[in-house]
Structure 1
Amino acid sequence: MQLADFILRDMEPIAAQWEAFAASLSPAEHMGSADLREHIEQILKDVATDLRTSQSREARREKSMGRGAGVIDPTDETAAQQHGVLRARAGFTVNQLVAEYRALRASVLRLWMDDCAPGGPDPDGLIRFNEAIDHALAESVTSFNAQIEQNRNLLLGMLGHDMRSPLQAIQSTASCLALLNAGEQVSKAADRLIRSGARMQALLDDLTEFNRTKLGLGINVAVANIDLAAVLADEVDELRAIHPDRQIELHVSGDSRGNWDGSRLQQLLGNLVLNAIKYGARDTPVCVTMTCDATHVRIDVSNRGAAIGTATMASIFDPLMRGPASQNDDGRAGNLGLGLYIASEIVKAHHGAIETRSNDAETTFSVTLPRTPEQ
């Protein structure tokens, strides 16, 4: 008997073995028979349909390498894809998901070989079946991972939102303590609370922005006509107050008026300057230079210090990436490795470009922005 015919004829015992194995996995303890069997019959029908469909050697070769689409309409969500989503929601691990398909493969082939005896199974049917199961498995794993990623992003979003209220209460209380003039010890403690609260606020802000980009929402920008030189000067003044031991220079040339989101570009500059302070030589200045022409402005943030390594440079704007420990680390300025990633997203939201150059003499981050984002 052809394997496709066997699968359709013996679907019930195959599904029963699938259910029994799935029930042995720990997250399945709370799941009923209908949940455990969900989509298995349709997955088997899809496999049988695939086996009955004529395929060229080239098509089979492409499919074996994950490039074939099979016979399922790519615009429809397949049973295998839906199965991956439901298993993610049920608390399965990816290893348990893969184990289900491994058990399905073994049970189908074992039952079929017993049915084929003594003549033995068709080798071509074996190969086609394994290709079809691998294809279904790849679809399930892809949708499983997408669901896990979405769950993680939603959790991060809720965490960032729910932590803001207690943090604001801590910061307000610390500010009140600082105003009481209740003695040096209380003032120092309040100052520590204020600084720690500011660091936590920065981390939460980074987390929130990262979460928005991962959910596909991007960075919000509210464009208005502004004097960018004045906006950046305000940010540089604040950075100087936070880091009185570091020299931060600002140089501007040309007409600095244009259409941008001023607060976002302050955030951009702050991230770039803080990165330069963190990794630059302590006894040299961080230089911010803005040059303006008729259609664009360019912002360069430069620092002296060790050159960025080739491996780090290749992924420098990736999220959750941090460079090697710098000579300026004090063990307290914890970060999530999101500053440069968020900077690049702000540039992207303004339809600009950002690049990095680094050698033994100097490291420079260069941002080019159109005077209006539409350009």
Structure 2
Amino acid sequence: MLLPFLQVAMNIAKFITENMEPILVEWEAFATTFGAVADKMSGRELRDHAKQILQFVAQNIQTAETKEQTHAKSQGMAKTSVNEESASSIHGRLRYASGFTLLQLIAEYRALRASVLKLWEVACGEVSADSAKDVMRFNEAIDQSLAEAAVAYAEKVNHTRDIFLAMLGHDLRSPLAVVAMAGAHLSKVGAFDEKVHRIGERVGRSAATMDGMVNDLLALARTQLGDGIPIERTPCDLCEMASVALGDAQAVHPHAIFELRTEGELTGAFDRPRLQQLLTNLANNAAQYGTPGRPIVVDVAGNSDRIVFKVSNEGPAISSASLKTMFDSLVQLPEQEGNTRPRSSLGLGLFIAKQIAVAHGGDISVQSDAMHGTVFKVGIPR
């Protein structure tokens, strides 16, 4: 039970320590209001790491702080132990596993804050001059615990999403291969009438578009899961690779005009499939946003220590604000900065292109203005 009415003010940290059970009862009671997700959980599961979180809060309040440490905590930059996962982080992960939403997790902390302050006020007959400082330290500690729980929760959400993307991309491969084979068969010259032939070509273009999306999804999942994009260098001819890459882009954009220009020594040890994906993505992007009917120029040049790819297209200049985010994942240009033709990507192409360039030890950049159009440049060391 709650301590009886006191005639002197009690330090909030001491109050939490001595009244742990009443506070936990209120925590558990609030958690039961979350409907179906809470109905399946025992009292112990509903309480989860609440006791350890409260112990952390009480200890944090009583720990001496410098002004610098107080300021860092107010900015959400408080130092945490690197040797041991906090009870707050574990709580965030377990709440995700139990089906709680992020809003419900935050609501738990909001209710905990209100419960402690309400019970403390009832127990204290008078408020000391230090009470305001106690409340401030208490709120800081609760906020720190909530931040750790929310970060752990978000990490689990992201990890689950990335595994889902990887599984989705992998599972789409087999049916996609069947669609591509059907398109190739239907579009075979002389095999069927002209109407069926055109349908086969459309099926083939759609399969090529989907194949690019699947490749980008798998590459995104690898980067997000922490593995990065694997690179395996083998001897290859980049001139031949570039021709195949533009063929892939042409399948998706049959009306686009691609011009390939090569110069210098273009044989060496590279990851051909990855560079083909990189160049195809850049070519698809140029066809997506370039001026219809104007050529897209692809330059591949090699010297003694470096390979340089350039993909240039005419079209509206890209704003400086958009240039800063072009290589982020799931980013597409606003319609006013490109044409309004149907989008055929997930907004991953440029992100994946950058990851492939970086995995090769290279870099990628972009320049855009009304006079010269948009030029992507990729440098890959030998």
TM, length-normalised to structure 1: 0.91
For residues 22 and 186 of structure 1, the distance between their equivalents in structure 2, rounded to whole angstroms, comes to 61
Does 1:322 find its partner at 2:332? yes
* 2:13 corresponding residue in structure 1: 4
* 1:367 corresponding residue in structure 2: 378
- Kindly provide the CA deviation profile for residues 208-258 of structure 1, in whole angstroms up to 9, marking residues without a partner as x: 111111111211222012232232233335545665543322222222222
Alignment match of 2:136 (pick from 109, 117, 127) = 127
* 2:7 corresponding residue in structure 1: none
Does 1:74 find its partner at 2:82? yes
Alignment match of 1:344 (pick from 347, 354, 358) = 354
Stretches of 4+ aligned residues off by more than 6 angstroms: none
The answer to whether the 8 A contact 1:278-1:328 is kept is yes
Superposition pairs of residues 37-76 of structure 1, within 5 angstroms: 37-69=47-79, 73-76=81-84
For residues 243 and 350 of structure 1, the distance between their equivalents in structure 2, rounded to whole angstroms, comes to 28
The answer to whether the 8 A contact 1:229-1:252 is kept is yes
Give the C-alpha shift of residue 266 in structure 1.
Answer: 1.4
Q: 1:177/1:295 Cα in 2 relative to 1: closer, same or farther (>3 Å)?
A: closer
The answer to whether the 8 A contact 2:208-2:248 is kept is no
For residues 28 and 228 of structure 1, the distance between their equivalents in structure 2, rounded to whole angstroms, comes to 58
Secondary structure, in 3 states, of the residue corresponding to 1:364? strand
Superposition pairs of residues 172-187 of structure 1, within 5 angstroms: 172-178=181-187, 181-187=191-197
Superposition pairs of residues 162-201 of structure 1, within 5 angstroms: 162-178=171-187, 181-201=191-211
| Aligned Cα root-mean-square deviation (Å) | 2.1
The answer to whether the 8 A contact 1:288-1:300 is kept is yes
Corresponding letter in the other structure for 1:220: P
* 2:308 corresponding residue in structure 1: 298
For residues 356 and 104 of structure 1, the distance between their equivalents in structure 2, rounded to whole angstroms, comes to 50
Give the C-alpha shift of residue 328 in structure 1.
Answer: 5.4
Does 1:260 find its partner at 2:266? no
Corresponding letter in the other structure for 1:369: I
Secondary structure, in 3 states, of the residue corresponding to 1:369? strand
Q: 1:29/1:338 Cα in 2 relative to 1: closer, same or farther (>3 Å)?
A: same
The answer to whether the 8 A contact 2:205-2:251 is kept is no
Alignment match of 2:105 (pick from 84, 97, 102) = 97
Secondary structure, in 3 states, of the residue corresponding to 1:222? coil
Moved more, 168-177 or 11-20: 168-177
* 1:114 corresponding residue in structure 2: 122
Does 1:17 find its partner at 2:30? no
The answer to whether the 8 A contact 1:4-1:48 is kept is yes
Secondary structure, in 3 states, of the residue corresponding to 2:378? strand
Does 1:86 find its partner at 2:102? no
For residues 229 and 176 of structure 1, the distance between their equivalents in structure 2, rounded to whole angstroms, comes to 29
Q: 1:330/1:258 Cα in 2 relative to 1: closer, same or farther (>3 Å)?
A: same
The answer to whether the 8 A contact 2:302-2:308 is kept is yes
* 2:4 corresponding residue in structure 1: none
For residues 108 and 344 of structure 2, the distance between their equivalents in structure 1, rounded to whole angstroms, comes to 41
- Kindly provide the CA deviation profile for residues 4-51 of structure 1, in whole angstroms up to 9, marking residues without a partner as x: 221111111111100110110133222111111110010011111112
Moved more, 271-280 or 176-185: 176-185
Give the C-alpha shift of residue 141 in structure 1.
Answer: 0.9
Secondary structure, in 3 states, of the residue corresponding to 1:67? coil
Identical-pair percentage? 39
Contiguous gaps of at least 5 residues in structure 2: 1-9
Secondary structure, in 3 states, of the residue corresponding to 2:268? strand
Give the C-alpha shift of residue 95 in structure 1.
Answer: 1.5
Q: 1:290/1:328 Cα in 2 relative to 1: closer, same or farther (>3 Å)?
A: same
For residues 245 and 360 of structure 2, the distance between their equivalents in structure 1, rounded to whole angstroms, comes to 19
The answer to whether the 8 A contact 1:278-1:329 is kept is no
Moved more, 208-217 or 237-246: 237-246
Secondary structure, in 3 states, of the residue corresponding to 2:65? coil
Corresponding letter in the other structure for 1:108: V
Q: 1:288/1:337 Cα in 2 relative to 1: closer, same or farther (>3 Å)?
A: same
Contiguous gaps of at least 5 residues in structure 1: none
TM, length-normalised to structure 2: 0.90
The answer to whether the 8 A contact 1:153-1:215 is kept is yes
For residues 292 and 176 of structure 1, the distance between their equivalents in structure 2, rounded to whole angstroms, comes to 38
Q: 1:300/1:40 Cα in 2 relative to 1: closer, same or farther (>3 Å)?
A: same
For residues 286 and 118 of structure 1, the distance between their equivalents in structure 2, rounded to whole angstroms, comes to 78
